Amino acid sequence: MNRIPLWVKYFLALVPIIWIFSKIDFREMLQVFGKIAWWTIPFLIAVIILSMFLQGVRWWMLLKAFIPAISFSRVMNHHFSAIFYSIILPTSAAQDVVRSILISKENDYGISWGSTWVSRILGLLTLAILSIYGLFLIDRHFLPKIFFLTLIIILVALVLLFFLSFSKKITSKTRLAISKLIPSKALKIIEDVRQGVYIYRDKKKTLFFVFLATMFIQLLLVGSTCLVLAGISGKWFPFECLAYIPLIEILSLSIPLTPSGLGIREALTKLMFQQIGLSNEQLGVYIVLGLLSIVLKLVGGVPVLFNLLRKSNSQGNPPQSHQTE
């Protein structure tokens, strides 16, 4: 999937969005825009920024467990820089990859990448738990059986990955076979990262608090979606959002076809709107508001610009030698 050219990925992302908007009556869509509650956009902006901040805090909590002296401001600097770069990079995991690269230049790369893996797997696992719980709260008669079965399979796979991450006994049997297929240098890096994940088994308190932070972040995502839909339609869909939104996030982040799941997320959201009985025009407004998350990622450009200016000043002002009189 990573060999797919960048322009092809963006094309694949735009196809479902163009198809969705081809079905929309733009006059009706403008009318929907005019009727949305006044607080919807300010609320959405505040939630997006808060969510980005809390994701950085969660990562700092994981890093601090093994790098006590690590600076909170430095971690947040790298976190928001990675958010900025993820706008243009062609993978849903771009943010994780960039911030891990940035932090590993200054700290142990095993811990840097290990914390990223733990953060990602906890995030996906929490989403799956919330989605399954939400499905028990809604009327499932109109959902295909494969829908629920797929989610169960995803949850089982994530739970298995979580426990495999903290066990060397199970994976030791495959390590010998893998070592014959991978060059020794690459194997050394993989082993260091593997150790960086494994050592978190002794930090159960940290994992617990990170799990709580992750749960809060994901509930914030679900709750904000519910309120935005209420602002657009005047109707409440709390259980439907709890069932569908986490699953949409899992699938859009796990399918590496488009940058950050763009297009895939919108196509899955259309299916959700059909299930809850909202119109294509309301969907169009929801998608346009959702683009705010991309625009607000430009906030991450602030530390990037600051670092570039600081580097430029340091290069333009070499240290002067002291002359004796």
Dump pLDDT digits (tens) for 58-101.
999 999 999 988 889 889 888 888 888 777 665 556 778 888 88
User: CB 226: neighbour CB atoms within 10 A?
Assistant: 18
User: How far is residue 244's CA from residue 25's CA, in Å, rounded to a whole number?
Assistant: 25
Report residue 322's pLDDT band, with 50, 70 and 90 as the boundaries. Answer: very low
pLDDT for res 280:
93
Tell me: pLDDT of 14 over 70: yes
Structure tokens belonging to residue 173? 């049997």
User: How far is residue 218's CA from residue 208's CA, in Å, rounded to a whole number?
Assistant: 15
User: How far is residue 246's CA from residue 158's CA, in Å, rounded to a whole number?
Assistant: 14
**DSSP characters over 238-276:** HHHHHHHHHHHHHHHHH-TTSGGGTTHHHHHHHHHHHHH
Predicted confidence (pLDDT) per residue in 148-196, tens digit: 777 788 888 888 888 888 777 666 666 666 666 666 666 677 777 778 8
**Residue that wins the pLDDT comparison between 43 and 12:** 43
Predicted confidence (pLDDT) per residue in 269-321, tens digit: 998 998 899 999 999 999 999 888 777 777 666 666 666 666 666 665 555 54
Which amino acid makes up residue 247?
L
pLDDT for res 111:
87
Find, among 126, 59, 134, the residue nearest to 99 by Cα. 59
Predicted confidence (pLDDT) per residue in 95-122, tens digit: 788 888 888 888 887 888 888 889 989 9
User: How far is residue 230's CA from residue 233's CA, in Å, rounded to a whole number?
Assistant: 5
Q: List Cα–Cα distances, 156 to 119, 144, 220, 225, in angstroms.
A: 18, 19, 24, 26
One-letter-per-residue 3-state SS of 59-90: HHHHHHCCCCCCCHHHHHHHHHHHHHHCCCCC
User: How far is residue 21's CA from residue 281's CA, in Å, rounded to a whole number?
Assistant: 9
pLDDT for res 214:
95
Alpha helix segments (H runs only) across the chain: 6-22, 26-35, 40-64, 72-85, 94-104, 109-135, 145-165, 172-179, 184-198, 204-233, 238-254, 264-276, 280-290, 292-296, 301-316
Predicted confidence (pLDDT) per residue in 22-58, tens digit: 989 999 999 999 999 999 999 998 998 899 899 999 9
pLDDT for res 278:
93
Find, among 96, 111, 119, the residue nearest to 65 by Cα. 111
User: How far is residue 123's CA from residue 130's CA, in Å, rounded to a whole number?
Assistant: 11
Q: List Cα–Cα distances, 191 to 34, 149, 175, 197, 318, in angstroms.
A: 56, 34, 10, 10, 41
pLDDT for res 275:
87
Report residue 1's pLDDT band, with 50, 70 and 90 as the boundaries. Answer: very low
Phi-psi region of 3 (alpha: psi -120 to 50; beta: other; left: phi over 0): alpha
Which amino acid makes up residue 123?
G
Tell me: pLDDT of 237 over 90: yes
pLDDT for res 323:
42
263-282: buried (b, 16+ CB within 10 Å) or exposed (e) per residue? bbbbbbbbebbebeebbbbb
Q: Determine contact, residues 111/67, Cβ cutoff 8 Å.
A: yes
User: How far is residue 206's CA from residue 61's CA, in Å, rounded to a whole number?
Assistant: 7
Q: Which of 133-137, 167-171, 226-230, 245-249 has the lowest mean pLDDT?
A: 167-171
pLDDT for res 308:
61
- What does pTM read for this prediction? 0.82
Structure tokens belonging to residue 263? 């297009």
